[in-house]
Structure 1
């Protein structure tokens, strides 16, 4: 008979390994439960950008079961933003974190905006073997952001309306005055012409002396020397007034251009001149506007959004100077720096304290009195420049001397280069 098999007793090393495996299994189960219970969509991907796993929240967000997406590229699930997603993946493979916004069709058929935060997963040697993504539905935030943008634009236009009415009213007033003067002058000159024509009538012969006397009388009645001097001046002033009104109207058309969904080449100098024109009356009471524009190439951008940025910065500069209680100056300059254009808007206001400077781009933060500022202008301006155009909006300020906001924009628009290595 064979002796019964006996189990080899576990060594202390085996016991430790077994305990470690049990602990790891428990920890993995706990992590899996936490991930499944969370509201955030967790997406695991290979270095090539293919989905290796995702949780229930991701299934609900994208409307696809886990089994349906395994092995597929994440960018085929989104409707727009593929180049941005691929750029973000390339950044993660370089060892960085990246955030990208995408749009996809939700399970209810509506377009959903999603913010995806990507992070590299590396082994002990630093070798990246996967990518972890946390996706959040930001559709409601986008809708609210658009509403705030519109509210900010309406608020700015409301502040400009009275000034624009005054800007147009002034030239229209002296155009009207000159038109009435020219009407009266025309009537008087026609009366003189009628006398001249009567004197040329040979059917009613009169003496030469009497003719001279009638001419002197009619010319004395109209002050011919005065009319000879003032009529050309009135015509010139009228034409200047018409051109001034036309310039304001052109500026308003440029400023309020609805823009395009896509970025198109635009003249930033023209946009700045238009913005300066529509803000001049509002600003002129507190500051002198100095414009120094360099030759710029066409910039690929959404000019309507940038007009709003420039407006906010100029109006803020005027407010900063007004708070000092003394006249100041606002300087608007442009320049080219490599593949970027630079727009600087400087004021001679009181400057921004350090503790305030850290918050000026926070939504709804404002130091203005109630009813004068909503705290939306600068956050929206930074969003337009950075997220919308791939540029930067920075601020430099010295207390007691003033503030400069600097806008940098890529001439060729927001980068859309698709890195190699991410096939669909």
Structure 2
């Protein structure tokens, strides 16, 4: 029976050990494991079979702690020294990673054998929870510290228990000095009564209370929106929480607004623009003196004026009345008015729906367009002159292209004429040489003039509103659109960021698009419509201009931006407008596209809102002594005559000159010889000037500072970009001895 009882007890003990949620490890006196329960297997990563018989210190104690230390880790005396104690120490997983545990050691005997039972509990989650709590407290403290509004907590007796630093502006003292104080210790009696009353409301109702409070001594928080709320504890209100939001500036703004409205009424009376206020029943509320004067209202005309029909026709009245009910904001609607004396005049109406003395009214301004209409008539007469000017501009571009091709031979003619004049000085042919020189110089000046006319001016950019640009273009085109029976609709997005563009150039682009649409609608039956829309798409402002005309046939869609391509009859267009517009838009880093939409032509213009003019880099100039005696120069030009001319001018400045006709020969010369100056043509077959310069910068960088580029490609965009980036001196063809001399003066001397 005793044997049965012992066996039963051992089975029960083994079952308890195996089912325990805590790690249980049993060792003999030598520290070898005799039992290792499933919780220990799961925690440490060893199987029971692998653990039985192993030394416990080798199994779960990190190597750095096995000898024991003064920090409470596994002691040098082994498990017996921990009997009756509950300690925290570091344990080790099977993979060698360490984790914190709580350890309790008990002693057991089986006959004469002594055993030790180690009960371990993984503390990782508790440690993580403690760390999370500390982090949460730190975040709460940071939130309170940096919150831009006052935050506090006080007990039901009104004493402050917590207050963030922003509350110092409310208290008039550091927030920490107010802890434990009540409102009576901080504020005036009147303010204390106000605060106490609002606290009472929270305590009695248990609801959130938001009120405006005024503190006479405060600066930033003179006016506050104070939100009080109950803080519950065990289902009973134990605290009062509060937020103080500074609304001082809002209050002051409201006061300024009220004063502004008073001034507005006074200004309206004296405003030079005719202004009227009309109530929802179309009854006149206010008509300033300017309006009365425009309508011819004199002394004694008041009663007749109030009954007078302002609009010249019933159609105008019905149209404007319908628009005023439909649209709350309108600018520039035209109609005809009739004065008291019966005379009729054209006018432009703009209005807004505003609140006035508690009711919605219409505030309108009326501009007499008599002078404007006269100006539009004059503008119409000048349009033919503008068309002629466009044709002349196209001719100028053509001449500029021809002039560019003349640069190389002109460079030779000008240079040789100068040399010939010097060689024949004092002879009977000297006058002939001088005449040749003067004629050559005249040709050069003409070419330079054409190039200057054709060279694009960098955009003069400034901040402008896209909607205002469109309005300006439509204003100029309004007469032609109206007389052509074309309706213009606009859908402008509000709050668009400003564009950094050249207003004159962009105005011309928009005007070109409008005029193109007008001409496309010329033979289209009514209704004829043009719609302009603006919107913000990402970081770009998008302008869509569409018409209900015949559209662009598919077979010519890819050609409409080509210079001189036009589908218009002879004398109506030159084909320059869209090409010019595309160039301007691309110079502003924008895009101009013809969309593939049905029903008319649809153009989309997109401009980046951050587009800005690129400043020209400063070119470093190191002045050296004039003259090149004893100095060497390399001339690289695929045109032998031009190369000879440059070499001749350099030789007259005292240089010893080497001339090559291509980039490959130039590389050989530069690799073996140090030159004081390198005059290189920009455009050459195979290795051109930019490629040679890049090779020099990588291979013989000391020669890069002695480069001068000779070019006639002053109109090419790629050439302009390269020269801007390189920052090297440039000699434009046709050149002279003086331009060569000026270029030499900018070079750094060779070492």
Q: Which bracket does the TM-score occupy, shorter chain normalised? A: 0.3 to 0.5
More helix by share: 1
TM-score by length of 2: 0.24
TM-score by length of 1: 0.40
